[in-house]
Structure 1
Amino acid sequence: MDGDQSPDLKEQYRNAVLNLPVDNPTAYLREIKRLQGLMLDMEFEQLDHDQEPEKVRKDFNEVKKNTRELRLSPACLRAVQGSEITAGEKPILEQPTVEKLPVKKTTPEEPVVNKFIALTEEPAAKEPAITETTAKKNKKKKKKKPASKNAATPEPTTNNSEMDSDAEANALRMRITHNYLDLIRPKNSTDADSAEYNMEFIQNVANELLNVTCMVLSFVDTSDSFNAKAMEEMEKLGERLLNLKDGNRDLMAVINELDKVRIRGLKCKKEVKDLKEELDEVKMEYDFTKNEVIGIKLECEDTKLKLAGIKMVLKDAHNELAEAKKELDVTRQEFAAATLELFEATKELKDTKEELIQFKWEFEDTKTELEEVKEKNQDMEKKVNEMYAWFNKQKEVPLSHFH
C-alpha cells in the first residue's frame, strides 16, 4: 500500500510526525492539520492510478469525509496551557479522526489485553497486576517485585548503541510517549486534584494520541524493524499510562483500546502483505490477459484483411449489378416497344376480325341468294321438263291435225 505512494510525501509525513511540537498546543494543532493534508495527498495519489475517473472521485470524496479536522476542547487547551479546569466542563469542539472503540470486558480469549484486567476490575487496589511484558522482563531479571500504582514511573532501560543506531524510534518515543503524556495533567496539580480530574479531557487527549499512533502505524513505514519499534513504543506507552495517579476505569479502557489498535495494526499489516501477494497474482493474470489481447489484436488484423477482400468482392458485385441494371433498362425499353407493337397487332387483329364477321355476313347473304337461285333453277328445270314433255307429246300428233 505504501509502496505505491510518492517517497517525497512519505518522507515529509515521517519527519512531521517525528517533530510534532507537543509543547506548543497551537503549533501542534496546526501541524496535525498539515499532516491530514499530507494524508489526503497520499490517498489521492494512490487512487489516481485507477482507470475509472468517476470511481476515483467517489473514493476520494469518501476519504475527505472520513478525514475530519482534529481539534481539542476548550478545557483540553486550557489544561495543556496550564489553566484551571472548571468542574463538569464538557468538550464542545472535539472531532476525533477515528471512531472511539467500544469498551468491552476482557476475556481469556484476548490474552494481549489481559494485562489490564486487574486494574480495570479493581481500581481501588494499591498494586496492579503484573503485565505480560513486565512478567517476561521480571523472569529475565530474577523476578523483581512489580512497582505499585502510585510509584514513580521507572525509566525504560534501553541499549545506548541501539538508540544511537535507531534515532528515529527514539525520537518517536520521546516525543509521542514521554513529552506528550507530561501534558496530560495540569501544571501545579496535586494527587487530590488528579483524583477529581476531568475524565473527558483525558479521553480527548488519549483519543488524539491514538490518532497520531494510528497515523504512524499506517503511513510512516512498512518495514518489519520499524513496526517492531512502533509496537514496543505502544507497550511502553501503555505502561506509562498505567502509572498515572488517576486510577480511573475510563483511562484503563482507553489503554485497552490502544492495545486493541496495536493488534488490529498487526492484522492490517498481514492483510496488506496478503493483498500484495494477491496483487502479484493479479499482475501475472494481467500479463497473461495482455498476451491474449495481443493475440486477439492479431486475429482482428487478419479479420480486417479478410474484410478488405470481402469489400473488394462486394465492390465487383456492385459493378456487375450496375451493368445488370443497365441491361435491365435496355430490356425494359425493348419490352415497351414490343408491347406497343403487340397493341398495334391486337388492334389490327380486331379490325381483321370485324372484317371477317362482315365477310361472314356477306357469305350468309350469298348463300341465301344461291339457294334462292337454286330453287329458281329447279323451277326452271321443272318447267323445261314440262315443256320437253309437251313438245314430245306434240310431235306424236299428225300435221294434218293442225289443218
Structure 2
Amino acid sequence: MHFQFDPARWLRHLFAPIDPWLWGILISILGGGFIVMLSASPERLNAHLINLAAALIVMVVVAHTRMQRLHSLALPLYVVGVLLLVAVELFGETSKGATRWLNIGIARIQPSELMKIAMPLMLAWYFQKREGSLKVRDFLVATALLAIPVGLIAKQPDLGTALLVVGAGVFVIFFAGLSWKLIVPVTVLGVSAIVAVIIYQGPICEHGVEWPGLREYQKHRVCTLLDPSSDPLGKGFHTIQSTIAVGSGGVTGKGWREGTQAHLDFLPERHTDFILAVLSEEFGLLGVIALLVLYAMLIARSLAIAANAPNLFARLLAGAITMTFFTYAFVNMGMVSGILPVVGVPLPFVSYGGTALVTLCLGVGMLMSISRNRRHGRRQ
C-alpha cells in the first residue's frame, strides 16, 4: 500500500481540537510575556523558548485527549502525586532550607507541581461519582482528600504551591454545591483574623512570638508586608523595590529595556516572581491594563467552556482550572504591588519557569479537550 503524506490534512488534524478564541488569547499573553522576558533576562532566551515549546506541545497533546481518558487518570494521578509527596518527605533533597525536590535518577522533579492538576481532577472525579446523592459527609471526604497533599506540601515548606493547590480544590468543592451556610462562617473567620493581624501587628510581630501553623520566616514575610521598612534590606527589600518599579512607570512607562529598577539590578527575581514590575516600569499603567484585559478574556472564555461542558466532571474541572488562572494572577499581582506577602507564585504565562508554564498550558489543553468534546457531542 502506498502512503502519501498530506501536510494540509495533517495540520487540520493537529489543530482540530484547538479552541480558536482560547488559542488567540493565549498566544497574545505568551507573546507579550516574551517581549518583557527579552528585556528582563535576555540571557535566558534560549531556555525560555525551550520551555514555551515544551508547554505548547503538552497543551496540544492534552487537547487531543478525550474526556473519558482524563476521567480515568484522575485517581491514579492523585495517588501517584501523594506517594511522591511522601517520598519527598522521606528522601527529598533540601535546597535553601526547603525539601521540595525528589531525585529519580534521570531528573530532579518537584511533585507538588503535579498536585495543581491532580487535585482538581481527583475532586471532579469524586463529585461525578457522587452526583445526585451529595450529602454533607461527601464534602467532608473531599476536604480530607484536599488536606492530605496540602499538608505534605506545606510541611516542605512551600506556601505558594500549597495556596494554589488549596485554591484549586476549594473551587471544585464550591462549584459542586457547597452550602453558603458553611462558606460564610469560614469567610468571616478569615477576614477577622486578617483585621486582627493588622490591628495588633506591633506586639504579635515581635521577635519570639510564635504563630500557630507558620514558620518564623513565613511570619516575618507577613510582618514585613505590613511594614516593609522594618526590614528594608531583608524580607522587605523585594516589596519596596517592586513597588518603586511599579510606581516609576507612570501611565505610559519608561520604554522597552529602559527600566532602571530592573537593569540596574535593584529589582530581585525580575524574570520570575517580579516580572510584572518590569512590565509596569517599562510599559506603564497602559501595559498593565492591556495584560489585565487579556487575563479577563482568558477567564471569560474558560468560564464559557465550563458553563457549556457536557457533564459534571467536565464542568467542575473546567471551573477549577479557570479559577486557578485567576488565583495565579491575583496572588502574583498582589505580591508585586505590596498587598500580599511574597510566596513565590509566578505571573501566569509570562514569568520564566518551565514547570509552572507546562502546568498552566496543560490546564489550557484540558479546557480545549472539554470544548472539543462539547463540539463533537453537538455533531452527533
| TM bin (shorter chain) | under 0.3
Tell which has more relative contact order, 1 or 2 (C-alpha 8 A, sep 6+): 2
* TM-score (normalised: structure 1): 0.25
Larger Rg: 1
